[in-house]
Amino acid sequence: MKQVYLDHSATTPVRQEVLEAMLPYFSEEYGNASSVHGFGQRARNAIEGAREKVASLLGASPEEIIFTSGGTESDNLAIKGLAAAPHVRGKQVVTSAIEHHAVLNTCTALEKQGFAVVQLPVDRHGLVGAEELRQALATAKGDVAFVSIMMANNEVGTIEPIRELAAVAAEASVPFHTDAVQAVGKVPVDVRELGVDLLSLSAHKFYGPKGVGALYVRSGTRIQPLQHGGHHEKNLRAGTENVPGIMGLARALELACEEMETEAQRLHELRDRLQEGLMDRIPDSLLNGHPVKRLPHLLNMSFENVEGESILLSLDAVGIAASTGSACTSGTLEPSHVLTAMGMPPGIAHGSLRFSLGRVNTAEDIEYVLEKLPPIIERLRQMSPFSK
Name the minimum Å distance from CB 68 to ligand PLP.
9
From 68-76, 109-117, 162-170, 298-306, give the range in contact with ligand PLP by CB under 6 A.
Answer: 68-76
Q: Give the chain as a 3 state SS string.
A: CCCEECECCCCCCCCHHHHHHHCHHHHCCCCCCCCCCHHHHHHHHHHHHHHHHHHHHHCCCHHHEEEECCHHHHHHHHHHHHHCCCCCCCCEEEEECCCCHHHHHHHHHHHCCCCEEEEECCCCCCCCCHHHHHHHHHHHCCCEEEEECCCECCCCCEECCHHHHHHHHHHCCCCEEEECCCCCCCCCCCHHHHCCCEEEEEHHHCCCCCCCEEEEECCCCCCCCCCCCCCHHHHCCCCCCCHHHHHHHHHHHHHHHHHHHHHHHHHHHHHHHHHHHHHHHCCCEEEECCCCCECCCEEEEEECCCCHHHHHHHHHHCCEECECCCHHHHCCCCCCHHHHHCCCCHHHHCCEEEEECCCCCCHHHHHHHHHHHHHHHHHHHHHCCCCC
* Among 118, 174, 181, 311, interactor with ligand PLP by CB under 6 A: 181
- By the rule CB under 6 A, 202 interacts with ligand PLP: yes
- By the rule CB under 6 A, 80 interacts with ligand PLP: no
Active-site residue, selected from the candidate residues 328, 338, 353, 357:
328
Name the minimum Å distance from CB 156 to ligand PLP.
12
What does the per-residue mask of binding to ligand PLP show for 122-161, with x meaning CB under 6 A? ----------------------------x---x-------
* Among 50, 55, 66, 71, interactor with ligand PLP by CB under 6 A: 71
- By the rule CB under 6 A, 182 interacts with ligand PLP: yes
Specify the residue, 57 or 214, whose C-beta has the smaller distance to ligand PLP.
214
- Nearest residue (beta carbon) to ligand PLP: 71
Name the minimum Å distance from CB 329 to ligand PLP.
12
The reply to whether 107 belongs to the active site is no
* Among 8, 22, 70, 380, interactor with ligand PLP by CB under 6 A: 70
Catalytic residue ranges: 328
